[in-house]
Amino acid sequence: MALTQFLSDLRLALGELTHKPLRTFLTLLGMIFGVGAVIAMLAVSEGGRRESMKMIEGMGLRNIIVEDDPKEDLEELRKVSAGLSLADAKTIEETMPFVENWAGIRELEVWSVFSREPNSNPTQQPEVWAVSPSFFELSSLAVDEGRLFTEDDNESFLPIAVLGETAARELFPNGRAIGQFIKVNYQWFEVIGILIDRQVASDEFQGENVGGESDRVYIPLFTGLNRLKQEEFASELSSLKLRIAETEKEMGPASNAIQQQLIRRHGGQEDVRMVIPTDLLAQQRATQHIFTIVMSAVAGISLIVGGIGIMNIMLANVMERKSEIGLLRAVGATRADVVRQFIVETTVIALAGASLGIIAGIGIAYGIAFFANWTVAWDAFIILASVSICVTIAVGFGVYPAMSASRLDPVAALQSE
């Protein structure tokens, strides 16, 4: 009985709304833009969150990165400090029990990187990094083909290389990179592995360079330090990644202890810079939180405007349909029946607006992604919850017109024509 009554109310609601399509569409616009704004905001916000987590994975949430950062003339600085070195890393590991693992990185100066492939034509010169074997684990990098180099490879100064996905594709366009050779400056290196591409949209996060692994060539640290010529006065390491134990709840004290240790070892010179990925993530989330608040306010205003539009059109319907309401009451319809009929009409409007709003939101989100080069991502539960909230707001605004209709005097309503 209830289902039959609901279907009857639904048919009446659809008939009433399609009777004046232009007015119905104009009423829907508020809901369309409101829901669309909410959907687009959630997609951009979720995409930004996932992208930031993907970028921060390369730095490592439990890592502290120490970068060589000389602030004066290198020749003068080297009289008191040798710069960041392997000895620094070993001393930190031995004296600071909260450091679980470390990886040294040396960004090499190269003027030529090529392969024997006749069609090899890199769009830009790949970077060449000499890294400790532990670098891949600390940077959450995995191999797609072949293998990574080991500590034995490192200590044997083997001329081997692991390529990022883009570097491998451009150096070996025919797709056969494993077992082939590339020439870095004047040294030949055998390709033993290709990394999985994490497909990070940006190489910068909160002002720090991240990502870029896809465009690089990685060789063992000792191989790079001993087989390739270094710049004059350059430090042994360009940077150092330190994995901090999970027992350390705060990265700040650990970072300060490491920095003070390095200042003492470098003759009082502050020639290193500390980068704490957890701090960068916190800054990014704070910025994103502000963005979400602003966008939520805009979406909320759109929904309120849409709700007011629905209330306005339903009040107009009440005025136009007084005689119909009076006739319904005269033939036995109760106040609850009248309220239900108008609530069903409001719900149909809200659901139609929400459905079109989802389509509009998807279009807006991808439009933002295209023009602003942002990433979007979708969460079905969040979208369903947001649409439910939007429909609830719209129906809430339709309660007053429905109650107004139910309170009409049947005799006065019949005489309104």
DSSP secondary structure string for all residues of 54-107: HHHHHH-TTEEEEEE---S-HHHHTTT---S-HHHHHHHHHH-TTEEEEEEEEE
According to the model, what pLDDT value does residue 207 have? 58
Token pair listed for 304: 């309120």
Rounded to an integer, what is the distance from CA 19 to the centroid of its chain? Answer: 45
Q: Which residues contact 341 (CB under 8 A, 6 or more apart)?
A: 9, 12, 13, 328, 402
Using 50, 70 and 90 to split pLDDT, how confident is the model at 411? low
Mean pLDDT of the 313-339 span: 74
Q: Distance between terminal CA atoms of the chain?
A: 33
Alpha-carbon distance of 184 to 163, in angstroms, equals: 12
**Cβ distance 214 to 165 under 8 Å?**
yes
Alpha-carbon distance of 98 to 64, in angstroms, equals: 12
Q: Which of 68-82, 230-244, 320-334 has the lowest mean pLDDT?
A: 320-334
Closest CA to 252 of 270, 269, 277, 287: 277
Using 50, 70 and 90 to split pLDDT, how confident is the model at 414? low
Q: Which residues contact 396 (CB under 8 A, 6 or more apart)?
A: 307
According to the model, what pLDDT value does residue 178 have? 93
Per-residue pLDDT of 115-132, as tens digits, reads 888 777 666 788 899 999
User: CA 367, 369, 373: angle at the middle one, nearest 5?
Assistant: 130
**With 90 as the cut, is the pLDDT of residue 157 above it?**
yes
According to the model, what pLDDT value does residue 276 have? 86
**With 60 as the cut, is the pLDDT of residue 312 above it?**
yes
Q: How many CB atoms lie within 10 A of CB 391?
A: 19
Sign of CA dihedral 299, 303, 306, 312: negative
Using 50, 70 and 90 to split pLDDT, how confident is the model at 103? very high
Alpha-carbon distance of 95 to 90, in angstroms, equals: 9
Decide which of 4 and 220 is more confident. 220
Which residue shows structure tokens 């003070």? 260
Decide which of 411 and 381 is more confident. 381
Token pair listed for 339: 């309220």
Q: H or E segment at 100?
A: strand 99-107
- Distances in Å between the alpha carbon of 49 and those of 46, 209, 276? 5, 18, 18
Decide which of 147 and 246 is more confident. 147
Residue 108 identity = L
Which residue shows structure tokens 């979720």? 46
Token pair listed for 139: 């940077």
**With 80 as the cut, is the pLDDT of residue 324 above it?**
no
**Cβ distance 299 to 361 under 8 Å?**
no
Q: What percent of the chain has pLDDT over 90?
A: 23
Which residue shows structure tokens 């939520």? 296
Per-residue pLDDT of 164-205, as tens digits, reads 998 998 899 887 889 999 999 889 999 999 999 877 656 666
At residue 174, φ and ψ (nearest 5 deg) are -80, -5
**With 70 as the cut, is the pLDDT of residue 358 above it?**
yes
**Cβ distance 62 to 301 under 8 Å?**
no
Q: How many CB atoms lie within 10 A of CB 190?
A: 13
Strand partners, 64: 242
Decide which of 94 and 38 is more confident. 94
According to the model, what pLDDT value does residue 199 have? 72
According to the model, what pLDDT value does residue 17 have? 67
Per-residue pLDDT of 221-255, as tens digits, reads 999 999 887 777 788 899 999 999 887 778 888 88
Counting Cα atoms < 13 Å in the Cβ hemisphere of 187 gives 20
**Cβ distance 96 to 244 under 8 Å?**
no
- Which of 25-29, 30-34, 350-354, 357-361 is most confident? 357-361
Alpha-carbon distance of 239 to 139, in angstroms, equals: 13
At residue 65, φ and ψ (nearest 5 deg) are -105, 125
**With 80 as the cut, is the pLDDT of residue 314 above it?**
no
Token pair listed for 113: 């990187």
